[in-house]
Structure formats: structure tokens, C-alpha cells
């Protein structure tokens, strides 16, 4: 039998004296504060919003060419080169869009939210204002997504740089053939989340998110969206701990039953209001920022239920294909417990 050298003995004793510790877990408050400087991420969609990622529109919108009209779509875009598209019938000025974005930023800061702006914008990525899609905050950090269409591919790198610069842990970057966009992710409560699978979100992307959540004890529900719907936030947005705005016509019945099982009260979009009704942002339980006049009947219902609405004009930006919810990616929220 071989003998242990003095060096090996001291080495082994050192390792035994200073062993590895799996607990407390990475996401625990103590570990977050010790290693990462603060508690990061979210485990809900309505707790007091503390930090949010945004991008003020800028020169990336120069790629939009008003002469490239797509009459059959009633919009604009480069269908051949796949470099850009504008969903609305009108292209507002950059100044008008910046003014609306500035007003949204001011409203958030007035609510005590720290606004983190992208350090840079990928050249020509004119959808970068819709930061919701490029990262998802989970317990202890963020998941950087992989955007579906060519016109958005490349937004991921500036988001990654920005999160790293502020010290936020990145728990996963969607890779391989996975597709995932944050607008199709919703926290229902601290132990249940949902992803809407669609043309922008495939099963491989969903599986990679599920791996992160499974390690945190979170159940992930998969909802297949109908037709060419992009994101589940067009059909479901949480506005209070136990309340959601929904469009029931594009959600499966089993999922509506699941919401009931979870004791989530649902406010159905009024049929005479546009689908944009769902596009709002909770800054605290029962307090939301919403575009005024977009959904007057649904807003009346919310008022009767005691939901507070902070109005912010966002019509010009909305014409580009996304509203207030799309333009904000929460990075830190208070737990609801």
C-alpha cells in the first residue's frame, strides 16, 4: 500500500477544513447579498417594482424608410431583406416617440423605480425599445432570451452587456435552436409561471427556461397560443397578487380553469375595447401604468375593483408594435409575501 506524503496530508486536511457548501442556495437573500451585492430578479409580476430595463428610441430608427410601403399589410417594412418592419399605418417622428418614452420613464421614477437604460443599441435593431422580450428576470438573476425574427436578432448582446455592467447574475442564455421572447413569459405566483408557445417561442426555448425554474422549485405551464399570436402578454397580464387582465378568446379552457384553481380573479377584456387593453404594467400590487383612452370600458371595470391606474400617453410608440408592458423589462421586484 502506498503512503500519503506530508504534502498530500496537508492538502487533504486543508480541503476538509475549508469544505464546499451547497447551502444556502444561490437564490437565497444571504447569498445574493454576499456574492452579488443585493437580491436580484423577480418571483412575481406585481410586487413593488424596484429596477427595470428600458431603451430610449434613437438613431436605430433611421433604418425605417417611409417609401417602403406594404399596401397589402397597411404598414411598412423591408420584406425582401428582412431588416425592419413598422406595424402601424402611420410612422411618427422620432421626437414624438422619445417624448412618450421619456414620459413613461418619468412616471416609473415617480413610483420609485430605478430605470436602467441599455448601454448601447445594436445597429439598426429598431425594436430594441421593447426590452421586455430580450430578458426574463427570475429568482436570483436573469435569463437572456434568443429573439425569433431576423429583424430582432442581435438585441441580445447589448442586453447582456448592460446586465453584466450593473452586476446582475445571468443564469441562462437561450442557445442552440431555442427561441424565447420575454413577452411570452408570466409569473402567476412565486411557484408558478407560464410560457406561451408561438411562432416566437418554441419548445426548445421553453425547455431551457424550464431547466432554470425547475432548479428553483417553480412549476412552468405551457400554453400554445392560437394562429399567429406572438406573446402571451397579449392575452394575460397580472395586475394584482390575485388578479389578471385576460383575453379569454385566445386562451385555452384548461388554462382558464388553472387560473381559477390558483384563485386568480380574472378581468376579461371588454369586447368593444382593442386588444391593447392587456398591455399595461404593474408597479405595485393593484397599481398599474396604462395608456389612457385605449381601453375605457376595461379601465372602468378596474376602477370599480379598486385597481389604481397611472395614465401615460403611449400611442405613438404603440404604433410600432408594442406598448407599455413591452417597453419595460423588470429586473427586481419585491416578493409578495
Residue-wise pLDDT for 300-329, tens only, equals 999 999 999 999 999 999 999 899 999 999
The neighbouring-strand residues paired with 52 are 115, 330
Separation CA 265–CA 155 (nearest Å): 35
DSSP three-state, residue 228: coil
pLDDT for 271 equals: 83
Q: Give the chain's residues under pLDDT 50.
A: none
pLDDT for 275 equals: 58
Contact call for residues 108 and 328 (beta carbons, < 8 A)? yes
The model carries a pTM of 0.95
Contact call for residues 243 and 286 (beta carbons, < 8 A)? yes
Backbone angles phi, psi at 250, to 5 degrees: -120, 20
Strands 170-173 and 141-144: parallel
Backbone angles phi, psi at 162, to 5 degrees: -70, -45
Separation CA 310–CA 283 (nearest Å): 10
pLDDT for 88 equals: 86
Separation CA 226–CA 255 (nearest Å): 13
Average model confidence (pLDDT) for the chain?
95
List % helix, strand, coil for the chain (3-state, nearest 5).
Answer: 30, 25, 45
Separation CA 264–CA 232 (nearest Å): 16
pLDDT for 270 equals: 85
Separation CA 260–CA 154 (nearest Å): 39
pLDDT for 293 equals: 82
Contact call for residues 225 and 250 (beta carbons, < 8 A)? yes
Q: What is the largest CA-CA distance in the chain?
A: 85
Buried b (16+ CB within 10 A) or exposed e, 299-319: bebbeeeebebbebebbbbbb
pLDDT for 2 equals: 67
Domains, the chain, ordered by start: 32-333 (3.75.10.10)
pLDDT for 4 equals: 80
Q: Cell 408557445, residue?
A: 197
Tell me the CA distances in angstroms from 259 to 189, 237, 265, one per residue in order.
11, 12, 8
Separation CA 167–CA 150 (nearest Å): 29
- Percent of the chain whose predicted confidence (pLDDT) is above 90: 88
Picking from 196, 198, 176, 177, the residue whose alpha carbon sits closest to that of residue 185 is: 196
Amino acid at each position: 500500500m502506498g503512503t500519503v506524503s506530508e504534502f498530500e496530508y496537508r492538502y487533504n486536511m486543508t480541503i476538509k477544513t475549508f469544505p464546499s457548501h451547497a447551502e444556502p442556495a444561490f437564490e437565497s437573500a444571504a447569498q445574493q447579498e454576499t456574492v452579488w451585492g443585493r437580491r436580484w430578479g423577480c418571483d412575481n409580476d406585481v410586487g413593488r417594482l424596484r429596477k427595470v430595463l428600458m431603451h430610449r428610441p434613437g438613431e436605430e430608427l433611421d433604418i425605417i424608410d417611409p417609401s417602403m410601403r406594404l399596401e397589402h399589410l397597411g404598414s411598412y417594412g423591408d420584406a425582401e431583406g428582412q431588416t425592419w418592419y413598422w406595424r402601424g399605418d402611420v410612422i411618427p417622428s422620432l421626437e414624438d416617440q422619445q417624448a412618450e418614452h421619456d414620459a413613461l420613464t418619468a412616471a416609473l421614477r415617480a413610483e420609485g423605480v430605478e430605470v436602467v437604460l441599455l448601454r448601447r443599441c445594436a445597429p439598426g435593431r429598431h425594436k430594441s425599445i421593447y426590452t421586455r422580450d430580450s430578458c426574463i428576470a427570475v429568482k436570483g438573476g436573469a435569463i437572456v432570451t434568443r429573439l425569433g425574427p431576423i429583424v430582432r436578432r442581435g438585441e441580445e448582446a447589448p442586453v447582456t452587456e448592460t446586465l453584466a455592467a450593473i452586476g446582475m447574475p445571468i443564469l441562462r442564455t437561450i442557445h442552440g435552436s431555442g427561441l424565447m421572447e420575454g413577452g411570452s413569459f408570466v409569473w402567476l405566483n412565486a411557484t408558478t409561471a407560464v410560457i406561451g408557445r408561438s411562432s416566437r417561442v418554441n419548445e426548445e426555448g421553453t425547455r431551457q427556461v424550464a431547466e432554470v425554474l425547475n432548479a428553483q422549485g417553480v412549476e412552468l405551464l405551457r400554453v400554445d397560443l392560437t394562429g399567429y399570436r406572438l406573446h402571451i402578454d397579449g392575452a394575460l397580464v397580472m395586475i394584482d397578487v390575485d388578479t389578471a387582465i385576460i383575453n379569454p378568446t385566445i386562451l385555452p379552457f384548461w388554462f382558464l380553469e388553472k387560473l381559477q384553481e390558483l384563485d386568480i380573479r380574472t378581468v376579461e377584456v371588454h369586447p368593444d375595447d382593442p386588444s391593447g387593453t392587456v398591455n399595461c404594467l404593474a408597479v405595485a400590487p393593484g397599481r398599474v401604468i396604462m395608456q389612457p383612452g385605449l381601453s375605457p370600458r376595461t379601465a372602468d371595470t378596474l376602477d370599480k375593483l379598486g385597481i389604481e391606474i397611472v395614465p401615460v400617453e403611449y400611442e405613438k410608440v404603440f404604433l410600432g408594435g408594442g406598448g407599455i408592458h413591452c417597453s419595460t423589462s423588470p429586473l427586481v421586484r419585491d416578493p409578495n409575501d
